[in-house]
Amino acid sequence: MVLQSALHHLASGPRYTSAAVASTRIRCLSTKGAPEVTLYQYAICPFCNITKSFMSFADLKYKAVEVNPLTKAEISKWSEYKKVPIAMVDGEQVNGSDEIVSKLINHPFIASSLQEKLDATMTTVTFAESEGSKKWEQFARDDLASLLYPNICRTWSDSYEAFSYVKDVESFSSFQKFAIQNVGSLAMYYAASKIKQKRNITDERQALNDALVQLEEEGLGEGKQFLSGKDKPNLGDVAVFGTLRSIEGLPTHDEVMQGREQTALVDWYQRMKPLISY
């Protein structure tokens, strides 16, 4: 199942190099070119979109390969890991969005690219490791991402529409598109109840709205432009944006965002869009 397979916790522990090591790498190796990245993804997977948002923010070009959620044929022959995202970074397989971002953020090209975009008081390490950055990145991964799943498949028709992205995947045959949209959406619809039960959710839309209210009040209160609290976004901003971006164009996104016209969240989302495009 598309999003259910992605809802997993990754191993904890230090993910980024120290500021001293990072700055040394930038000085010594910044002439190296960008890493070659191929991303295996589902278009509506929030974790895949966190990864893509980070790469876009870092001005990293990459190749995206859409994975068939029913057969996983694009990865099954060579990867024991069957979830997405998977990235091949300069020929090395990296599994999971957290690990992919960790791998990329320490690359000299990306570290240098990020530094040019950050607030004057930020480094590539504080961009990812400040208290606020870690708080909102975790919020995006652990809270917001899992709430999106039951919201975009509240009904079978919602689930069916969520899978409409397959119509634009040129690598899928007509039969594959038909099968994915019909079988995948049905499986997704029935799996939503398990997510709701696991998280003790009785009203999925209210739970999502409550999470977004928390985001507005705690992250964007007092006139903050970004969740970073500075003039430029940090990794928390990027992760939350990527999560919400994963359902852009679906009824859930329209309802929860359009219902917040002229609010801090909508203003923040519009500020983020020019910085992250894919």
Beta strands in 4-135 (DSSP E): 37-41, 63-66, 86-89, 92-95
Blockwise average pLDDT, block size 10, the chain, 278 residues:
37 35 33 86 97 98 97 97 97 98 95 91 94 98 94 94 97 98 93 87 94 96 96 98 97 86 88 96
pLDDT of residue 261: 67
**What are the pLDDT digits (tens) for 98-117?**
999 999 999 999 999 999 99
| φ and ψ of 72, to 5 deg | 55, 30
| Residues forming a β-bridge with 38 | 63, 88
pLDDT of residue 262: 66
Please measure the distance between the N-terminal and C-terminal CA atoms of the chain and give it in whole angstroms.
Answer: 24
Write the burial class of residue 232 (CB in 10 Å: 0-12 exposed, 13-18 middle, 19+ buried). Answer: middle
Beta strands in the chain (DSSP E): 37-41, 63-66, 86-89, 92-95
pLDDT of residue 13: 35
What is the Cα 142 distance to its own chain's centre? Answer: 11
> What's the predicted TM-score (pTM) here?
0.87
Is there a contact between 110 and 26 (Cβ–Cβ < 8 Å)? no
Please give the torsion angle defined by the CA atoms of residues 200, 206, 209 and 211, in that order, rounded to the nearest 10 degrees: -20
**Token reading at 277:** 């495009």
